[in-house]
Copies of this chain bind each other. A is one copy, B any other.
Amino acid sequence: MAEEIGSMQLEPIGIIHTPYEKREDIPRQGRLSDEICEIDIFPKFAQGLLDIEQCTHLIVIFWLHLADRSLLTSRPPHDLKKHGVFATRSPSRPNPLALDIVELLQVNGSRLKVKGMDALDGSILLDIKPYSADIDSIPQARIAWQKDGGA
C-alpha cells in the first residue's frame, strides 16, 4: 500500500505568527477571539495564493508539533470525562493535523492577516483552502456530550 500511495511526507509551506507563545496562552475559545494573526507563505508557494483575496474565510491546516501522537483518548478542558481523540479537537492524535477556520482580513504579497487562529506562534503551515458556506457550513450540527461548544 505504501508504495501505491507514495510517501505521505508533508512539506512546510509557510509559518503562522500568533500572540500565543505557550499552550496556556491560547484562550479557551481562541478560534472566536479578535486577535489578528499572520500567515507567511514561503516565496516558493506564493503563486498558489492567486485570487485568495476573493475569499472572506479560509480553512487553514497546520501541524501540531507538540502533540503526543500515541494518545487515543483525551479529556477536553472543563470536561470530567475522557473521549476518543477522534471525538475531540485535542491536539494529541495519531496525525497531529489542526484546522482553523479564519476570517481573511488582508493580503500583502505572500503574507495574510487573519482573525480566528488558535495556533501556537511559529506553527508550520501545511495547506489553505477557501471556506465555502455551501459545503462547509452546517449550523444544525451537534455534539451531544459538549455543553459549551468546546471540543
Contacts and interface: CB of A to CB of B under 8 A. Distances in A.
A95 interface: yes
A50 interface: yes
Contact of A97 (B127, B131, B138, B139): B127
Given A1-B12, A8-B124, A89 B130 contact: yes
Interface in A14-29: 29
A10 to B, nearest CB: 4
In which size bucket is the chain A interface? 35 or more
Interface of A: 1, 4-13, 29, 31-32, 41, 45, 47-52, 54-59, 61, 63, 65, 69, 72-73, 82-89, 93-95, 97, 99, 101, 124, 126-146, 149, 151
Q: What are the 3 A-B residue pairs with the smallest beta carbon separation, nearest first?
A: A50-B84, A134-B149, A54-B144
